[in-house]
Structure 1
């Protein structure tokens, strides 16, 4: 079984690190899109919505790119 890491310029980084970074970047993109829409304040408290969105998007990125198939 292989270790869950990715080789980047000779250094190995864990998969979850890339997933979290992708989740944060995608959340920032969604935030920028939502702030441009009228009525963007109706999405609830930001302290709950955006961390939850980071977790959701990180898990989706992991499922798409790093899920090992048996």
Structure 2
């Protein structure tokens, strides 16, 4: 029984070591003119720009009422598009 207990402790030690070492990789950043910015910053800016384009397109076509209430719909759309940009741009 003590060998099973030792095996469990060993597995727990390995698991905790792996969990603490996952933060030892390079920071996800993009170099712009010598300064490094986090990649999520570009994704949020791109998401906001895409939401502005969606708003303009829907307003011009007369379908602006599709995204109601705007206080919930536009921030949610910003998050959705920002995450989509992050997945496409930095994880594929």
TM value normalised by structure 2: 0.69
Alignment match of 2:39 (pick from 15, 33, 37): 15
Root-mean-square deviation (CA), in Å?
1.3
Bigger Rg, which one = 2
Q: Return the alpha-carbon distance in structure 2 between the equivalents of residues 53 and 3 of structure 1.
A: 27
Which runs of 5 or more residues in structure 1 are unaligned?
none
Displaced runs of 4 or more, over 3 A: none
Which runs of 5 or more residues in structure 2 are unaligned?
1-24
TM value normalised by structure 1: 0.89
Q: Which has the higher helix share?
A: 2
Q: What is the count of residue pairs matched by the alignment?
A: 68
Q: Which has the higher contact order (CA 8 A, sep 6+)?
A: 1
